[in-house]
Structure formats: structure tokens, C-alpha cells
Structure 1
Amino acid sequence: MDPKRSHESVLELCKTFGPIISYRLGSQLFIVINDYDLAKELLDDENFTGRSRSVVIQRQTGGCGLLFSEGLLWKQHRRLALKTLRDFGFAKDRSVEMVNIQLDDILTDLRDASESARPLNILDTFTEATNAVIATLTLGRQFRRGDPELEFVRTAARRLFAGRPLQNLPFLFPWTDYIVRLFPTSNEQNLVNMEILEFIQRQVQERLKLMGADIEGFEPECLCDVYIKERQKAEAAGDFESFKDMQVLRVVMELFMAGTDTTARSLEWLLLYMAFEQDWQSRVQAELDRVIDGERRPSMRDRDQLPLTCAVIEETYRIVSLTPFALFHPATQEDTVFHGYSFPTNALIFPFTYGMSRDPKVWARPNEFHPEHFLRPDGCFAGSGKNIPFSMGRRVCVGESLGRMEVFLIFSAVMKLFKVCMADEYLSKREDILRGSLGILRIPGDYRLLFEAR
């Protein structure tokens, strides 16, 4: 199985053997769920809210954070994170203001590229913008272009999300963990993990200095502040475990890093599809011109009047399937039975989002870019339906609202002002670019885009 194409190999297995399959790599048993209704049932079941207990995950996280914690600790911190992020912008105008500030830099880059007819890889521009937004919400930092720490975060995110086959070996053969760590390339994820944690630790210390001696009376400005205050409350009540240092650092780190590369990559894929699907680009721009007056930027209030734009975004989420494999869910009880199948407690169970996004029983044209999947006969946006770019159930992504808002505002603003085309030397490489490769996220092949002011 080619690690850069593993999602394609698993899809072929599912086509042959059905919606629930299992296979063993090394000593690890994997169970794949390739059906929306089955995956929804599984993800709504509290028995499947566990996380991998591999030696690699335990060493990097200690069972802390949101992504890899379980049980009461996970419930407590997920609830707090959701409430805090809603309070600090997910449901308020503050986050829209932050995105619009970053849009200034994005549009400046695109104007410069347009005026010079310079082919552009757009990822860095989008990553800087999404980093800056999530940094404000989580760390209370106002990163601006050129900030060395912003550059560190951008490169760290790239390193963290780059898949390296050797580093996965301990998942399959736990006894190889020590040996694998001797190889510099395979140890890269451990190193970048530590570097990011040290960076977050410095940010926490800066927030502590700002809060001063009166932590209780300090009005929180970001997620980090809330966690510092909650830790003080917990320790005053004799609880030194729920908000221990690693738990606070991991929660802040995970929300910070998850809100950067994923959103930037989604925007990158959107522009790639628009460059290849010129008819749909023209239709989106005609809709934006009809709804958005003059020089005004699109706002969230416009979304209901932009069904084509919303459908194009949702279809890109579907066909790209940025995270083809949802995070693994081991059963939390021994010998769990699910639809007649016995799931051993040490098996890693994952909903196969890439396969579900190509299910011919759900999608009329599963292998084509077909935004009509998300349009009703009357032309209205049909909603996400059985598309799950942010997962679903009890472990649904806490940053879904922010991610969707950023993608809508940035994509619609770019389409309103610019026509995007693929550079001539890349026009013949559509299949390679859109097939891309797989790290933790799906990454497009090498490309360059041209922007023309409208």
C-alpha cells in the first residue's frame, strides 16, 4: 500500500468487500467504516469516543488535549473549549473583523501578482492569514506580516502536517519505537511537536505576566486566558490534574495548529478547482456581482443569497476530502459488536471520509466536480447533506464554524476581485495536481496560479 495513495487503496478494498472492512498492518488491526449512516451511528455512540493509545501518541500528548484525551477529561475540556471559542468570536462579529484585517494582506499579494503577471503558489499567503486569525482567538496575539513568530508557526504547521512513512512504523510495530527515533527524518514530528509546545509555553508565560497577580479579576481576552483562570479555580479546589500544564498546553496547541493549515489548504484547493473549472468560476463571479454592490466585500449576511458560491465551496470540500481518514476511534469496551461485526478493543476504527465522499449511492457524479450535488432544483443551497468535512457526532471539529466562515469570506472576496487561471506550463498537469498526495492532509501537486484583476 503506497502511503502517499493509501486512501485510494482503501477505497478499492471497500468497493470489493463492502462498507465495513478490516485489514492488518503489522500488529495493528484497522477497521474501516465506509458508509455515512453507519459512520454517523458509530460517531454518535459514546462507546466509540476513545482515542489511540499508541506509544507515539502517548509520548507526544500524555493523553492530554482535546484530540487524544478520553472520558471525563475530554468531555470537560471540549465543553469549555466550545464555550470559550463561541465567546471569543465564533458567533460574533469579532472573528469577521479579524478575517477582514487579514484579507487586506491577501488582496495586496494578489494585486501585486496580477500587476506583475507573476505565477503564484497561493498557500503561504493563505497560511499567514489563517495563522493570524487563530492566534488572536487562542493566544491574544496580533500577528502581522513579517513577524518572525508568525513565520515560525507557518513552517511548523507545514512540518507537522507532512506525512513521513517511517514515523508511522511504531503504530504498526510498537517495539520499533525506540529504533525509529534514532533516524532524524522519522523523528521530525517529535521535534516539531516539542518546538510548538515550547512556543505555546512562552505564550502562556506572556499571558501570565499580562494578567499579573490578580488572575481572578482579569477579564479574559483569549482561550489561553480562560484556561489559566480555570486552572487557578481547579487548583484552589484541590484539583491539580484536570488543568495540569500539559493539558493546558495541548488544548491551546491543538486548536492553534488545527486552525491554520487545514483552512489554508481548503482555500488553496478551492482556487485550484476554479482555475480548472472556468465555467463554474464565471458563474460564481456573476452571482457575486449580482449580490455584492460596488467595492463592498462579501459578508456573512450575504451567504443566503449566494447559493452557487456555497455549493462550490461544499463541493470542493467533498471532492478533495482534505482528511481522507478521520481520527481513529478505538472501542472503549471489550468485544464491542457493531452491526454483527466484533470490534476488538485494541482495533483502530476510522470513518473513511474519502470513501464516503465518493459513494455512488449518495452522489450523482462522485468522481466529478459537480456543485449541483449541493443545489436544490429551485437553485437554493441544499446544505451539507451527507458531506462531513469537519467530521460529525461527539468528536465533530470544534472549529467548524470558524473554518467555514474564513473560507466563505476569503474565497468570495478573492472571486469578486480576481479571475484565477492556471499558469500555461501547468495546464496539462490537471490530473497530477488534483490527485496530489497524502500526508496528514491531502496536498495538491506542484502548481502556479495567475491572477487577473477584474
Structure 2
Amino acid sequence: MQEVPWLWTLIIFCWNNFTILIVFLILFVLLLDHVKRRTSWSHYPPGPSGLPFLGNLLQFDINNIFEDIEQKRKEFGAAFSVQLGWTNIVVLNGYELIRETFGPKSDVYLDRLLIPFLHTLGYARKKEGNPFNPQILLANAVNNVICILTFGERFNYSDEKFLKLMQLTDELLKTVNSILFQVVSMIPGMSYISRGPHCKVVKCYQEIQVMLREIVNEHKDSRDPAFARDFIDAFLEETEKTKGDPDTSFNEDNLLILNVELFIGGTLSTAATLQWGLLFMVLYPDIQKKVHKEIDMVLGRNKWPITENQANMHYTNAVVHEIHRYADITPLTIPYLMRKDTEILGFFLPKKTLVVPNLSSVLKDETMWEKPFQFYPEHFLDADGHFVKQEAFLPFSLGHRTCPGEQLTRMEIFIFFTSLLQNFTFCIPDGQPRPQEDSEYNLARFPHAFEICAISR
């Protein structure tokens, strides 16, 4: 009889000894986890110890993640490391470290991480002085601006196509904006296990693309090559010019992706910032009065504001910048991937590590701002009351890695905010408590639902 191989003997033994089999499997997976984590580097940013396989995942409270990050910053310093599963992540804090990391030479060692699925002023008529929640009104107005730029037309707020597009954009934004979705997206393989949010995003994304494809086809049939009516026309013209070029990025798929991102980005940044702006005006009525005074002096009641007015509206410009800073809409940016081993200000960042800049630590840096935890427009005014730029003002990230829609967003917010304050005085409704000044917890910060009254001036 041929001798049974030792491996087969071991298998039979383990099968007959189930307890030993379980112990063997536990030891095996722990050994595998140790092998995955055993690499250590000199000068690698410190951080909390993690659990096998999970890393530090359970050490973050989804509902208070920014407070958890702030506590770890105080405990471990300007740069600290965490692990989500087997993914190494370094969180960078403070103006100096973030400026150095994302400066002009960052292209040498940083790549933007591709997170899945992210590859005309109108006023609604409200009864004078009646309380209302401005969230939907602002989102619709901002999205109509995007419609004008991309589609060349402004929709009526009751238009079924517009309402459907807004509904899908809102659902997509809420899901992608959730911390759970972003955490799952950064852990390899987790998106296949936790399919709920990702399936919802795919469904919304595909429905939006179907609507946008119809609009693009209408543009193809009606456009005049000699005159670009909007962004879609301009993109289609470039697509024609580069037809046949295998390396071109001008194609219909990219056109659809860009349009989806315009809607998401526009709603996320502009509408949310305007919500915070109105909230701060009702919470700080003395500041609102000063804005009213400057608007009346520079524009009067009948002249529409334009971007060029910012140069002569120092206080209003300072208030708008302070809204950006204090609201702190996107505390954490999309992660970046280290493409090579790099040492920055004494911290070693190994290849394939995810790097997350904590912009909140810059906008609230106590070494850069006089009153970092207060709404204080004087941060952007000199002794003579003239507007001054601040180097630590980084709500859109830094340098060439800043948000591509920053200029459009700044222009929109100044014109929207100035127009609203030119025409209305905003106040807390009688008998209602003071609105909350803290934010809801998601990837982006939105104010808690609140109601205000708008009184014509």
C-alpha cells in the first residue's frame, strides 16, 4: 500500500479534530494579517494601533469623524497614520505641512485617487416675512446656473425634466457624500461586499446619463459650428477637431462625466456655502447690517452686482471669504496616492500610501488666524478696512490641485450672496429658537435644517 502523503494525513487529522482546524485557520489568517502589516518605516507618521483586518476602522465614530480626527491630531501631531483594512492612510494637518506636500513639485510624487463614480439668478416667490427653509430654493437656483452654462437654457422650477434631474442629483450627492460610502470606496474589495450604497449611486448615475445623452443628441442636431451656445457645443466642436486621434480625451463619454460632475460640484459647494451664508447673517445681524450699508453705498438698490464689484466692496468680500473659511464645507479632500517614497518635513510617506489633507486644520489653524473658531470677517480686512488675502485661506485645496470649479464657485457665491442681501433682510422667525451653528456630519458639511424670514428692503 502506497504511503499516504503527510499533507493528506494532516488534512484527515484536522478534519477529525474540528477544534484544531479552527485554531489552525485563526493562526493562518492572523499570520496573513501580520505579513500584510509587518512593514515598518523610519520616520513614518505615528498613529493608533489597529485590530487585525479591520485596522482602525472601528475607532472612528461615523457621526463625529471630524472630532475624532482633531483628537488624533492633538495626540499624534501634524501628520498621523491610520489603517482601513490593509490600506495605509496618512492625514496631514496644518498650513505648513499641507503647503509643502501639495506645492509645485507634488506632481513628482502624488497622484489623485480615483474614487468610484467620480471619474441666471432666480428668486422663488414667497409670502413676505413667512418662514421658509432656503435649502431647496438655493439648490434649484444654483443648478439652473449650471443648466445655462452646460445646456444653454434656464428651466422653469416646475419643469418635470429639471425636477427629475435635481432629484437624481440630490440622491447621488447624498449617497456619495456619506462618510460610509467614502470609507468603503477606499478599502479594496469592500465595495463588492457592501453593495447597497454603490448600487444606488450606479442607478442614479445611469439615469442622469440617459437624460444628459438626450440633451447632447439634441445639441448635435441643432448646433451651429460657427457659434458655441454653451459648454456642450464647445465640447462637441473640440470632439470634431480631434476625431481620429486615439489619445484624445474629447469624446461623448467624457462629456457626460463632466456634466454629472458639474451638477454634483455645483450643488455641493455653491448651494451649501450660500446656506451657511444666510445662516450666519441671521445669527450675526450686526454683520448683516454692515453688508447692507456697503451694498447701498456701492450698488444702491437697482444696480445688479457683477464680479468686478468685489474690488470696491471690501467688507462684503471679507464676509464672503469668512463664510468659506468658517463654514469649512469640505474638511477632508479626495485622497491622493503616493507614487514614490518621499520624505516631507521629516515625515516619511511610502509609495502606495493614501494621503488625505485635512483642510479644516488649515482654515482653523490657531497660528494663522486671530479668532479661528469664531465668525470674524476682520480676518480679511486690514487696519484701514481694505480687503486682504490670507495665505491660509484654502477652502478649495492648494495650487494646481485646487478644485477646478473654484473660480466659477467664487463668482457665483459673491453674486448670489450680494444680490440676496441687496434685496432682503434675513431674520429668525418670531417664536423660533436660534438655529444650530454646528453642522450635520457627512463628507461635506451642511447646516442643520433651519427656517428664516426674508423681508424686502
Counterpart secondary structure, 1:326: coil
- Contact kept, 8 Å, 2:132 with 2:453, in 1: the verdict is yes
- Contact kept, 8 Å, 1:139 with 1:222, in 2: the verdict is yes
Could you say which residue in structure 2 is the equivalent of 1:71?
A: none
- 1:401 deviates by 1.9
Could you say which residue in structure 2 is the equivalent of 1:46?
A: 107
Q: % of aligned pairs identical?
A: 27
Correspondence list, 1:262-277, <5 A: 262-277=269-284
Partner Cα distance (2:178, 2:407) in 1 = 30
- 1:426 deviates by 4.4
Q: Does 1:373 align with 2:385?
A: no
- Contact kept, 8 Å, 1:326 with 1:391, in 2: the verdict is yes
Correspondence for 1:400 among 373, 397, 406: 406
Could you say which residue in structure 1 is the equivalent of 2:320?
A: 313
- 1:272 deviates by 0.1
- After superposition, the Cα gap between the structure-2 partners of 1:307 and 1:134, relative to the gap in structure 1 and judged at 3 Å, is same
Segments of 5+ residues of structure 1 without an aligned counterpart are 65-98
Correspondence for 1:439 among 430, 439, 442: 442
- Contact kept, 8 Å, 1:164 with 1:439, in 2: the verdict is yes
Correspondence for 2:89 among 30, 34, 39: 30
Deviates more, 1:372-381 or 1:324-333: 324-333
- After superposition, the Cα gap between the structure-2 partners of 1:397 and 1:256, relative to the gap in structure 1 and judged at 3 Å, is same
The structure, 1 or 2, with the larger RCO (C-alpha pairs under 8 Å, 6+ apart) is 1
Partner Cα distance (2:256, 2:155) in 1 = 20
Counterpart secondary structure, 1:260: helix
Partner Cα distance (2:90, 2:430) in 1 = 43
- Contact kept, 8 Å, 1:180 with 1:187, in 2: the verdict is no
- After superposition, the Cα gap between the structure-2 partners of 1:235 and 1:180, relative to the gap in structure 1 and judged at 3 Å, is same
- 1:264 deviates by 1.1
Partner Cα distance (1:325, 1:425) in 2 = 37
Q: Does 1:382 align with 2:388?
A: yes
Could you say which residue in structure 2 is the equivalent of 1:352?
A: 358
Letter in 2 for 1:405: M
Q: Does 1:452 align with 2:455?
A: yes
Letter in 1 for 2:69: V
Could you say which residue in structure 1 is the equivalent of 2:214?
A: 202
Correspondence list, 1:326-341, <5 A: 326-333=333-340, 335-341=341-347
Counterpart secondary structure, 2:100: helix
- After superposition, the Cα gap between the structure-2 partners of 1:180 and 1:294, relative to the gap in structure 1 and judged at 3 Å, is closer
- Contact kept, 8 Å, 2:363 with 2:395, in 1: the verdict is no
- 1:11 deviates by 1.7
Letter in 2 for 1:359: D
- 1:47 deviates by 2.9
Segments of 5+ residues of structure 2 without an aligned counterpart are 1-59
- Contact kept, 8 Å, 1:234 with 1:243, in 2: the verdict is yes
Could you say which residue in structure 2 is the equivalent of 1:419?
A: 425
Partner Cα distance (2:296, 2:210) in 1 = 47
Counterpart secondary structure, 1:420: strand
Counterpart secondary structure, 1:134: helix
Could you say which residue in structure 2 is the equivalent of 1:189?
A: 201
Partner Cα distance (2:155, 2:361) in 1 = 38
What are the Cα deviations for residues 183-210 of structure 1, in whole angstroms up to 9, with x where unaligned? Answer: 3x55322222222222222222221122
TM-score (ref. length: structure 1): 0.81
Q: Does 1:230 align with 2:238?
A: yes
Letter in 2 for 1:179: I
Q: Does 1:167 align with 2:181?
A: yes
TM-score (ref. length: structure 2): 0.80
Letter in 2 for 1:198: V
Structure with higher Rg: it is 2
Could you say which residue in structure 2 is the equivalent of 1:143?
A: 155
Partner Cα distance (1:30, 1:424) in 2 = 48
Number of aligned positions between the proteins: 394
- Contact kept, 8 Å, 2:62 with 2:180, in 1: the verdict is no
Partner Cα distance (1:258, 1:224) in 2 = 17
- After superposition, the Cα gap between the structure-2 partners of 1:247 and 1:186, relative to the gap in structure 1 and judged at 3 Å, is closer
**Aligned residues: CA RMSD:** 2.2
Correspondence for 1:409 among 397, 411, 415: 415
Counterpart secondary structure, 2:338: coil
Correspondence for 1:19 among 63, 72, 78: 78
Partner Cα distance (2:251, 2:302) in 1 = 49
- Contact kept, 8 Å, 2:178 with 2:443, in 1: the verdict is no
Counterpart secondary structure, 1:200: helix
- 1:28 deviates by 2.2
Partner Cα distance (2:306, 2:99) in 1 = 32
- After superposition, the Cα gap between the structure-2 partners of 1:18 and 1:426, relative to the gap in structure 1 and judged at 3 Å, is farther
- 1:349 deviates by 0.9
Partner Cα distance (2:251, 2:262) in 1 = 17
